[in-house]
Structure formats: structure tokens, C-alpha cells
Structure 1
Amino acid sequence: MAEIRIKNVAKQFGAFTALHSVDMTIRDREFMVLLGASGCGKTTLLRIIAGLETPSQGEVWIGDRRVDKLPPRERGIAMVFQNYAVFPHLTVFENIAFGLRMAKLPQSEVDRRVKRTAELMHIEQLLKRYSGQLSGGQRQRVAVARALAMEPDVILMDEPLSNLDALLRLEMRAELKGVLAESKTTTIYVTHDQVEAMSLADRISVMNGGYIVQSADPVEVYRNPAARFVGSFIGNPPMNFLPATRAGTNQWTVAGRVVPGPNAPRDRIEFAIRPEDMRLGEDGIPATVRVVEPLGAHTLVTTDVDGSMLRALVDSDLSVAPGDHLSLVPQPDRVRWFDPETMEAVR
């Protein structure tokens, strides 16, 4: 069993606090993604789990073992880095076998594991090639195969696809998800790319300023952000936010229109809606078109609503131009609300 428990972990670098008392559990065989912008603490947390950083406080458990006092080699983990870290002067076979030889496994076991992981990563035909002769995507496959060959309890990945072009990233995402599910390994994956996070994760932990803001499955994080930051960070284009003032019990005025909402303790909150959750219709939010961006199947329209920006995704067949006036109707069950002081969701 490779359940990971992070208990009250914090990390200070001098006067700077990179992590604030983080508590989380990654279930056995779960694919957990740590998602956030640069500097949010996600790589620091990963390095603490790996044993490459020492926490200022707290505990790290893998299964029934407390590991934060153990060296990396005794934690039952493998790590895949952003820069591949393969040896160009060794063949693919020797790269994959490197850790196995360091562990002094018998040659028959080395051969078995190299063959199995090479087949999983579809690089069995490259075993005799030198890594310096491979493309970036092939080298990344070698790095993943080398980690999997160690048959670790946990595999840690630090933005492993960020150096690949868009098409290769798409291919590698699909392969990684299938391979790691087959290997039955607990995975923690760090990225700032929300598409990677949404497509790969069983759960996403969104981080900001050294805190975990929300941890949930991808659909829940996208549809029901627990904080304004999550709604603004996840989604491309991101969520729209408009000021709302109380119009009565469970009634709020948004852009001059009264709409139903929560029974919030404040008289001013924020109305939030994703761009794809609005349609054109009568008696909607009056908006003036400012920018039109064709995206293929849809067109992204950026509008002005009483001095606030409101984006909507409309059908590409719609003829719309800057200066046009639109009536945008939010899909009622997709509206969310946020407290402008705490920045948390209002249910």
C-alpha cells in the first residue's frame, strides 16, 4: 500500500514561507496533480516528499512508514524531472537499467524489468540506440521507463512534459495516464498547465501562496471552485466575475438585472459564470462587444458590462463585431457566487 499522508508540513527559506501547514492525503494508486502558478509551493512540496528538501515542520508518511527523516533512496520512490536527466553516452537499455544495476539486482531481473517497461512506453525498438540520438519525446519516454523499472511505491513527476511541443505533450499525456494506471503506482504530478491537470488527474490540488486552496476531482474543481482564485486560475478563458448587490431575500442585482442567488451575510458579493455557460437571448445581461477572437468551432467575445469585462463563447457562425450590443443570458445552474472579502465560495 502506498498511501501518502502529509501532516502539518511547512517550509521556510529564511524569512520566506514557501509552505503553510499543509495537510493532505494521496490515496493508494491515485494520480494526484499539484497545480498552480510558479512560486505557489508545489515543487517544494514534491521535493519534501522526495527527500530533496527537509520540512521546517510536519511529517510525511508513505504507507505505514514515516519517511521525512529517511534519505531519498529508502523511501520507495522514483522521480521524473523536467529536463529528462538521461545519460546521452548510454544506450536506452543501459539508461533504464541504471538504477537496477545500482540496486545490484541479478541480470535476469534487470533484463525482465527493462523489457517490460520499454514495452509499456513503446520504446522497445530503441533499446540499442544511444539516448543522445533520440528526440525529446523519446528521451522523456526513457526517463519514465527508468523510473517505472524500479517498481517504486510512489512516482513523482515535476513538469515532465513542459519541454515538449504541443502535439508531443498530447501524445505523452494519453500514454502516461494509461501506463501509470497499468503499473498501479501512486503518482504525484506537478504542473502549471491546467489542461494536463484536468486530463491526467484523479484529483487536483490547486495551490496558491503555499496553501492548498482546493483538492477535488477535475470536474468538481472546474464546476464548483471553492475560492475565487480557483475559478480565475482554472479555465481558458477563465471565469467571469461581476459585482452583485442585494435586491432582497435571495435576490441580487447584477448589471441592472435581478437574479436569484444565495442568502449571503453581506450586501455585496460577486456573481461568477464561465464563458461557455452563457447564451444569446432576451432579457439577459446587456453587453457591448470590445474584442472578437475566432477559435475555430467557437468565437470568444470580450464585452464591456458597466465597466467590467465579460467573456462569452459563442457559435462561430454568429456574425459579431466590436461595437455590437448583445444580451447574454447565464445558464442558471452554472452561476457561482463568491465573497469579495474572504474570496471563498458562497453556497
Structure 2
Amino acid sequence: MAEIVIKGVAKRFDTFTALHSVDLTIADQEFMVLLGASGCGKTTLLRIIAGLETPSEGEVWIGGRRVDHLPPRHRGIAMVFQNYAVFPHLTVFENIAFGLRMAKVPQAEVTRRVTRTAELMHIEQLLKRYSGELSGGQRQRVAVARALAMEPDVILMDEPLSNLDALLRLEMRAELKGVLAESKTTTIYVTHDQVEAMSLADKISVMNGGRIVQSDRPTEVYRNPAARFVGSFIGNPPMNFLPAQPDGAGGWNVAGQRFDGPGVAKAEFAIRPEDLHPAETGLRAEVRVVEPLGPHTLITADVAGQPFRAILESDRPTSPGEVITLAPTPDRIRWFDPETQKAIA
């Protein structure tokens, strides 16, 4: 079992607090993605789990064992870095075997593990080549194979695909998910790329300002963001937000249209761009920019003085300057507290 439990972990650098009392549980064999913008604390949290940083307070448990006082080599982890960290003067075989030899694993077992992980990563034909001769994608496969060969309880990945081109990232995402599911290894993966997070994760933990804002399944994070930040960060394009005013009859006035909403004193209206469609009644939108995207068209419009985006079918002709009416899908409307920024149930 390799359940990871983070209890009240904080990290301070002089007067700057990088993490604020983080609590998080990653289930055995779960693929958890830490998602957030640069500086949100996700890499700091990963490094604390790895033992490369010491928490200012709090505890880290792996497999029922407290490890925050242990050096990295005694935590049962392997790490894959953004810059691959493979040795160009060694062959692929030697790179994958490096950690095993440092751990004094018998040669027959080294050969077995290297061969198996190379096959998993589809690089068995490269074992005799020097890693300096490989492409970026091949070097990243070597780095992952080296981590898997250690048969760790946990694999930690710090933006491992960010240096690859878009097509290679797509291929590696699919491969990584399959390989890690087959290896049954608990994985924590750091990224700022929401597409990567949505496609890979069993669970996503969205971080902002050193705190975990929401931790849930990808579909839940996308459809039911727990805070305004999550709605604005997840999605490309992100959620639209409009101010709302109570209409005195139990509803809400949003850009001149009435909507049913929560029974609270203050609220903000939110809808995703794909959850809008042209209709006879709805939000009056003056089109500013039209971006054809193949099967769909992304428009940026002005609604009540606010920028507002909608994704429409490409066979619906639209041009800048046109005024259209956009109706939200009722069950996709979300409401947020404008003061706390949290979702209103």
C-alpha cells in the first residue's frame, strides 16, 4: 500500500509563506495531479514529499509510515524531472540501470528490470545507444523507465512533458497513463497545463497561493468548481462571469435577463462558453472577435460591458459587430459569492 497523507504541511522561506497548512490524501495507486500557475506552491509541495525540502511544520506519511524526517532514498519514491536528468555519456541501458546499481541490486535483476521497463516505454531497441544521441521524447522515456525500474511505492513527476512539442506531449500523455496504470504505482504529477491534468488525473488538486482550492475528479473540478479561481483557471477558454442583482421576486437580474438562482444576498453568475447557444431570448451580446476552430467557432463578445466568450457551431455564420442573443443551458449555470469567491450550493 502506498497511500500518501499530507497533514498540515506549511513551508516558509524567511518572510514568504510558500505553503499554508496543506492537507491532502492520495489513495494507493491513484494518479494525482497538482495543478496551478507558476508560484502557487505545487513544486514546493512535491519537493517536500520527495525529501528535497524540509517542511516548516506538518507531517508526510507514505504507506502508513511517517517519512518527513527521512532522507529521499529511504522514502520508497522515484522522481522524474522536467529536464530529463539523463547522463549523455551513458547508454540507455546504463541510464535505466543507474539507480539499481547504486542500490546494489544483483546484475541479473538489473537486467530483468531494465529490459521490462524499456519494453513498457517502447525503447527496447535503443538500449545500446547513448542518451546524448536521442531526441527529447526518447530521453523523457528513458527518464520514466529509470524511475519505474526502481519499482518505487510512489513516482513524483515535475512537469515532465513541458519541454516536448505539442504532438509528442499528446503521445506521451496517453503512454504515461497506460504505463503507470499497469505498474500500479501511486503517482503525483505537477503541471500548469490543464489539458494535461484533465487527461491524466484520477484526481486533480488545484492550487493557488500556497493552498489547495479544490481536490476532486477532473469532471467534478470542471463542471462544479468550488471557487471562482477554479472556474477561471480550468477551461480553455475559461468560465464567463457576470455581476448579478436580486430582482426582488426571488430571482436574479444578469445583464438585463432574469434567472432563477440561490436564495442569498449577493451572488455572481457564471457559465462556460460551450454551455451557450443562440436563441430568441437570453443575453444580448455584441460580437467583437470571431475565431474559427474547425468544428466550432469561438466568439468574444461584449455583454453588459464585460468580455464574454461563447463556443458556437461552425455552420452558424457570425461576424464582428453583429448583435446576437445567447441563452445559457440552465443546469450548467453556476453561482459564486462575490466576497468569499466560493461556490454557492
Shift of 1:248: 3.4
* In 2, Cα distance between equivalents of 1:250 and 1:346: 16
Give 2:31's aligned amino acid. Answer: F
Distance in 2, Cα, partners of 1:226 & 1:282 = 32
Name the CA distance, whole Å, in 2 between partners of 1:125 and 1:34.
Answer: 33
Q: How far did residue 342 of structure 1 move?
A: 0.2
CA distance in 2, matches of 1:44, 1:227: 23
More deviation in 196-205 or 279-288? 279-288
Backbone CA RMSD of aligned residues: 0.6
Among 312, 335, 338, the residue aligned to 1:340: 338
Give the fraction of aligned pairs with identical amino acids, expressed as a percent: 79
Superposed counterparts of 1:78-97, under 5 Å: 78-97=78-97
Question: Alpha-carbon deviations, 1:154-192, whole Å to 9, x = none?
Answer: 000000000000000000000000000000000000000
**Mapped partners of 1:145, 1:112: distance in 2:** 13
Supply the distance in 2 between the matched residues of 1:24 and 1:311 (Cα, whole angstroms).
Answer: 34
Aligned to 2:111, what secondary structure does the other structure show?
helix
The answer for the alignment partner of 2:107 in structure 1 is 107
Deviations 1:34-88 (A, max 9, x none): 0000000000000000000000000000012100000000000000000000000
Distance 2:125 2:203 in 1: 34
- 8 Å Cα contact 1:249/1:263 also seen in 2: no
Cα separation, 2, equivalents of 1:156 and 1:326: 48
Amino acid at match of 2:301: T
Q: Which runs of 5+ in 2 are unaligned?
A: none
Aligned to 1:260: 260
Query: C-alpha offsets along residues 127-155 of structure 1, whole Å, 9 cap, x if unaligned?
Result: 00000000000000000000000000000
Structure 2 counterparts to residues 6-85 of structure 1, below 5 A: 6-85=6-85
Map 1:169-318; keep pairs closer than 5 Å: 169-248=169-248, 250-264=250-264, 266=265, 268-318=266-316
Deviation of 1:323 after TM superposition, in Å, equals 0.8
Q: Which deviations, in whole Å up to 9, do the C-alpha atoms of 1:200-251 show, x marking residues without a partner?
A: 0000000000000000000000000000000000000000000100113541
* Aligned equivalent of 1:136: 136
SS in 2 for 1:293: strand
Distance 1:89 1:249 in 2: 74
Q: Deviations over 1:285-318 (max 9, x none)?
A: 1111111111111111111111111110011122
Supply the distance in 2 between the matched residues of 1:125 and 1:95 (Cα, whole angstroms).
14
Equivalent residue letter for 2:188: I
SS at match of 1:248: coil
Quick one: distance in 1 between partners of 2:301 and 2:260? Answer: 23
- Displaced runs of 4+ in structure 1, greater than 2 A? none
State the number of aligned residues: 345
Give the letter aligned to residue 284 of structure 1.
G
Distance 2:298 2:288 in 1: 11
